[in-house]
Structure 1
Amino acid sequence: MNVQNTIQKLRDELDQYNYNYYVLDSPTISDYDFDIQLKQLQDLENKHPEYFDENSPSQRVGGAITKNFKTVPHEYRMYSLDNSYSKEDLIEWEKRVQKVLGEVPLEYTCELKYDGASISITYENGKLTRAVTRGDGFQGDDVTNNIKTIKSIPLQLKGDFPDKFDVRGEIILPFAGFEKMNQDLIEIGETPYSNPRNTASGSLKLQDSAEVAKRPLDCLLYFLIGNNLPFATQYDGLEAARKWGFKVPKEAKLALSLEEVFKYIDFWDIHRHELPYETDGVVVKVNRFQYQDELGYTAKSPRWAMAYKFKSEQVSTVLNSISYQVGRTGAITPVANLEPVQLAGTIVKRASLYNADQIEKLDIRLGDTVFVEKGGEIIPKIIAVDLSKRSENSEPTKYITHCPECHTELIKNEGEVNHYCPNFYGCPPQIIGRIQHYISRKAMDIEGLGGETVALLFNNGLVHNYADLYQLTVDQILPLERMAQKSADNLVKGVENSKSIPFERVLYALGIRYVGETVAKKLAKHYKNIDALSQATLMDLVLVDEIGEKIAKSVLEFFENEENRIIIDRLKNCGIQFEIIENINPNATDKLAGKVFVVSGVFQQFSRDELKKAIEENGGKVGSSISAKTNYVVAGDNMGPAKLEKANKLNIPILSEGDFMILINEN
């Protein structure tokens, strides 16, 4: 046997041993024999570098150093899940599903919701090519080198798989491995890690992949996404993934009714504590991909899935004091400072009290013994007071009347629960918070500049608003604490690069109250530039799609403020993008202008996204649901019966894929 064949044989055998051990939990070789065989492979690869393969089992030991993790966009957005906390919530969810789909027979895939770090991994021709963290759902950090060290993640797939697709999984740290890591730290006098989830997440961003390789991380797959996948349901997708070499939790189950879903939940609510990993609930998914397509997504989550959260663990502790934080909009948030207590795997010292109404509702007082739980297993919150332990001398909590930072008297607007500091341009946390929002990833995404550095710049008198960022020089920055030449250069370069950020993100970055990402995109698309938006009247704004009176008034107030207008003029002079740069498409027309289309079903020639893009490029608008405002429905195979019935009832023309192509190609 020649050297190349020997190398390949060793790789295939070691891959199979890894799969048996880490995926099937059924080792077929001793650790000693595995190490001997791996050493043999490494020696051969070192002597014959011409046969190097980045997906060889020898590469799992790590060694690649990543100083800066590159941010890359997800080809398919990673959505978050809506949460439910009762079976009644799930019943209501099913009703919403049936309202869209009609009275079709529904089946569900039930999966345990593991508590780790979400990951998206791309495979091309069966090889792992890229791994990206969830990030903000639209983009994340490329952690491919680190992911390749996790032995339950296949580097090369087995069997008959698609040419290209993405898998979604949860990177977790089993309890046993976590405890071993902590024991090792304790023995050398180091501080142990707080909980498995944060440790797993932090491991993905270690610079040295060899260090990641030492950690007993695992990856549990829960979803596959791509074009023309060879199965019709979520459950079949999980079964196929198992055959290709992925570790899919055996606890996943197909439920033929909501009653079976409830039985699954009841079982795991009791038995979840027997699992080797952290889990905080059950994810219920409509099984058929056809129905998932019909149901679609909200701005944040799929309509075809729901996370049922197990009842949170509760503990009691003592409230030592209440402090007050000031947000970038001036909103005051009271925070409970607690006697430290262990809760759901972490030490809890603080909990949000939300607002004055909540304090009054709980009648919470200093020195009280309080019950604390984690909202959704993440955010600690006080749910009640143990009145039996209250001191006879306790006095009701008096909410502060003045800002804890600038001492301006607080205001509370009618119909709102929060108190606000009105000193918008003089209160330090508000100023710092607005600049931090401006530089954030979803806004101007200024590399080399983080939240702590913004505070440093403000506290040293170098910036008082986000327009000041564009006047910064390297010489001004260098004397600051922890600022070296390269850091200063990167900061100034990052600020300069932000001048190419498109108008809709600039508008979001300005921090106008109630103007989030979605609203900013709608306003930018409608008004095209900042000048037209600044001159809009209340009536003009309210007539914009999905812009209500509250948002409209906030926009007007922002532009009526002279200091805001001055800042915007300064940003203009710096070269910030304050108008939409239209992408010129030579094939685009306005022949569908004023027409609303709903796309439904499975198509032969085009994907749903391609059809939607064609509608928008020709001046039309894509609607998410059929209504009296819908002009056409573009229907493919397996169109949802409820949509078909509604379209017929409203006498809306139904176009086939071919009909639509004729429509946009007409002279």
Structure 2
Amino acid sequence: MTTAEDVAGNPYISDPRTEFESVEDVDAETAREQAAQLREAIRYHDYRYYVQNDPVIGDRAYDALFTRLQSLESVFDLDTDGSPTQRVGGEPLDELPDVEHVARMGSIDQGGDEADVREFDERVRDGLDTDEVQYFCEPKFDGLSVEVVYEGGVYQRAATRGDGEVGEDVTENVRTIAAVPQRLRGDCPEYLAVRGEVYIPRDAFTAFNRERVERGEDPFANPRNAAAGTLRQLDPSVTAERPLSVFFFGVLDASVDFESHSEMHERFPEWGLRVCDRTGVVGDIDAAIDYRDAQLDARDDLDYEIDGVVIKVDDIAACDELGSTSRAPRWAFAYKFPARKEETTVRDIVVQVGRTGRLTPVALMDPVEVGGVTVSRASLHNPSLVADLGVDVGDRVRIKRAGDVIPDVVEVLDDDGDGHFEFPETCPACDSPVERDGPMAFCTGGLTCPAQRERSVEHYASRDALDIEGLGEKAVQQLLDAGLVSDPADLYELTVEDLTDLEGWGETSATNLVDKMDAAREPPLADFLVALGIPEVGSVTARNLAREFGTFEAILEAADEGDTDAFEAVPDVGPTVARSIVEFFEGAGNRAVIDRLLDHVDPQAAEETGGDALDGQTFVFTGTLDGYTRSDAQELVERNGGSATTSVSGNTDYLVLGDNPGQRKQDDAAEHDVATLSEAEFEELLAETSVL
């Protein structure tokens, strides 16, 4: 194990030389010696950085040493067992197997009232028959608990807590966490199973969420969810890319004995295990309560989330005497903090680019409970609202959930930021000029903007557009990340071989998707118009455009001529929508993507109107129909003079129920006294009116 004396002569410890001779010019013996020194040095630097918080070299120098070690191990096929390079992630797994813990990982009793804590203290003193009890106090981390096992000082395996008896084997994922040593230091135990809490530092979480929002992805609600999702990734290389860290705080089993929890806390750093520096030993429960109050006051200044403190009897022999109930030890208690409610601090403001190019400022905040839901992201809607609120990074704000769904920033409480957030003049995704339209802002890049282009792929395959099964949000993002798709036209060029190279895709699923893309080469004109994602053009407007123009070529011709009058002549199309249609087709980037699409797709001309048998009748469809797609049913109604809308109102005549219908639409139908029809009853109505 590496000690301070061992590294004294290592050339890669202090002010290391990072310019190396070519690996090809190094002989095998020199490579082995250099690799051993580099491993030793990197472990030492990890210890100084993660455990002592006192690094002796900069990040660039560290990265250079790490890269050199990777090169030596790769070129000379060196044994990498226990090497720091194993943190970069191994082969993807098919599933996370279960593993039995070496000792039960129990939960602990908890409460948020001082009376609960005093009752705990009274039970402890009664159980030990003494009035003098020392407590070890530590923050209660809001992360994911893990078991980590070392044998002979070498990392062996890790598992999630699970049900306390059995957890998920996350050995390869935990191996990627830089704060988890691959080898212990000093005079460590021959066998050691420790309990730790994996978490994402607050600053890293904000940066991580910023990247997700800028990519158009939903951010994680809080660091704990992010840590839990990351640790359970089947691909360790994904885990390696995310900013996980860890605090160790307990021993599950060991080949040595400990007299107290405070001794564990002192010994862990000697072995290279990272601990929190905000612990303390106190002489009575009053001091423990004072400790808790001090952590509550410091909570917002910490770079990790805590939701309370843990108070433990310090003496291990006393803990053994107290024992445990069937679910929790009698010697520990979690004194919880009150939930953050409605007020929080803005940690960052990012601008998200939507599918239509609309730019929406988003506040990334410390997680806060609003209406029983924890949120860490709130919309600032548009540049005008940002200016009106005068909000900036660092400000204390009040949050509410609009309609009990979307959280909004409604008020700045403490203006602690350095100024007011300045809305960008260019798109953060493509650097195109930003155009203002009233209170809103739009990127002018169109489908040349990568953010809009990526969202357009997802929209193209969505249920409201071409409804391509197997191309949900997750699958589309996977294709984008793999570089197989950059715009909707690329979907038609996918091969079975392309897909089976990706995680989670087998021959059957790949073949099914390629077949579905082939089946989507002749889409109905209305569906194709929706799939293009023209701003202001939804399914109803698309069907009206298809009926009025008949063919896609006719729509293109009117757009090329800038004939807004022709579009305004279409029902449900006013001046704003007409101008939006023309501007969409005028965009050079949009036309380039459309031209590529037309190499693969032949939008089918709209069918002729069938008559006015359903004139004046309005239908809404919900659920899955057996004999029609929802788009086909709506088009059938409209071809015969009726109207098909997406929401139930007092003007609706019939709500048609397919399989798994939406409850909200049924409730609205009952409220407005709207008749409901099964699919069979809908077809009977069509037969009675000679539509069928």
TM-score by length of 2: 0.46
Structure whose alpha-carbon radius of gyration is higher: 2
TM-score, normalised to structure 1's length? Answer: 0.48
